[in-house]
């Protein structure tokens, strides 16, 4: 249920950020404001729940550089592209094409165990599920 609720927030977030883009005249400024507000809220939540901010320098050196920057940078690509796609495709199709993209990458990550994750091999059922998703995109584009 939490996944469904989180998923429901994405088209709302994209719609709000698209409206913000109209006021700022820039998808990048709208994305920046969105991330700045999100970062501020996360900072407050972290302070309120007494989490430690300390990042041990050894942890930075012992882990790949991309784990420190990858999530934020990829979030910018996702958020900004959603802002740019929404007026062209509409909310439903924007969600559908991004979910299809997420599924393609998720299947690849599962298939090859990238990022030290367990392997979940591609099978006929998964392939059929992806094909049905892409057929859904085709139907939404057409009608």
pLDDT per residue as tens digits for the range 10-68: 999 999 999 999 999 999 999 999 999 999 999 899 888 877 777 788 888 888 989 98
Q: Contact 91/14 with Cβ under 8 angstroms? A: yes
Q: Look at residue 37 in the predicted model and tell me its pLDDT.
A: 97
Q: Look at residue 59 in the predicted model and tell me its pLDDT.
A: 84
pLDDT for 108 beyond 80: yes
Q: Contact 17/83 with Cβ under 8 angstroms? A: yes
Q: Contact 82/17 with Cβ under 8 angstroms? A: yes
| Residue 31, number of CB atoms within 10 A of its CB | 24
Q: Look at residue 57 in the predicted model and tell me its pLDDT.
A: 82
pLDDT for 125 beyond 80: yes
pLDDT in tens, 62-102: 889 899 889 999 999 999 999 999 999 999 999 999 999 99
Taking the model in full, what pTM does it have? 0.84
Q: How confident is the model at residue 143 (pLDDT cuts 50, 70, 90)?
A: confident
Give the count of alpha carbons within 13 A of 27, CB side only.
Answer: 15
120-128: average pLDDT: 96
Q: For 77-135, what is the HEC assignment?
A: HHHHHHHHHHHHHCHHHHHHHHHHHHHHHHHHHHHHCHHHCCCCCCCHHHHHHHHHHHH
**DSSP 8-state symbol, 9:** H
Question: What b/e string do you get for 75-98 counting C-beta neighbours within 10 Å, with b at 16 or more?
Answer: eeebbbbbbebbeebebebbbbbb
């Amino acid at each position: 249920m939490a996944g469904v609720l989180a998923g429901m927030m994405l088209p709302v977030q994209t719609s709000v950020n698209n409206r913000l883009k109209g006021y700022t005249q820039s998808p990048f400024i709208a994305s920046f404001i969105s991330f700045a507000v999100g970062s501020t809220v996360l900072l407050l939540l972290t302070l309120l729940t007494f989490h430690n901010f300390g990042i041990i320098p050894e942890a930075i050196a012992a882990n790949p550089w991309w784990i420190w920057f990858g999530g934020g940078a990829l979030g910018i690509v996702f958020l900004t592209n959603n802002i740019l796609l929404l007026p062209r495709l509409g909310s439903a199709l924007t969600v559908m094409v991004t979910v299809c993209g997420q599924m393609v990458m998720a299947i690849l990550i599962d298939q090859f165990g990238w990022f030290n994750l367990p392997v979940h091999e591609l099978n006929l059922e998964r392939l059929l599920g992806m094909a049905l998703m892409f057929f859904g995109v085709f139907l939404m584009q057409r009608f």
